[in-house]
Amino acid sequence: TLKGLKDWKARLSYFLQNSSTPGKPKTSKKSKQQTFIKPSPEEAQLWSEAFDELLASKYGLAAFRAFLKSEFCEENIEFWLACEDFKKTKSPQKLSSKARKIYTDFIEKGSSKRVLFQINIDFQTKTLIAQNIQEATSGCFTTAQKRVYSLMENNAYPRFLESEFYQDLCKKPQITTVP
């Protein structure tokens, strides 16, 4: 529907204006906001070739996040991004504090975020993570992150590719000629 597409575009615009890559500095106040250039239809079509292509594109990632938010499952991409940032952490102190934050935000029962995602991580994995974060290493969340990635790749990603918004991005602009 047209209203749904407008809502989607508004949500994407919000994510494009308010997203920053984890671990990277935010843009300065002088530049106001990060600039995202709408991809060409050809670039957008590349996203359908592989889930990693979509995640590697800043615009693609923001579009996918907006899509997941519209489906009330954005915690999956948020968890995946938090894990990507976590794996780049070098300081043992920061590893430990980030591990606890990821655990409390996304895994711990009764967590601070709306965690529908909990049902997608089995009890053994949760228990393993709870043990691993006691002495955090960059691999604490590897199993859970792989499961969430697979869930997104096999469920949400195909729906994203079928979405009206994505289909609209892939359309070549119509050239109209005036007689």
Of the candidates 55, 52, 72, 69, the residue with the CA atom closest to the CA atom of residue 13: 69
Residue 50 lies in a domain: yes
User: Based on C-alpha coordinates, what's the Rg of the chain?
Assistant: 18
Residue 65 lies in a domain: yes
- CATH number, domain of 61, equals 1.10.167.10
Of the candidates 102, 91, 94, the residue with the CA atom closest to the CA atom of residue 142: 102
The tens digit of pLDDT for each residue in 130-174 reads: 998 998 999 999 999 999 999 999 999 999 999 999 999 999 876
Residue 78 lies in a domain: yes
Residue 114 lies in a domain: yes
The tens digit of pLDDT for each residue in 39-83 reads: 999 999 999 999 999 999 999 999 999 999 998 888 889 999 999
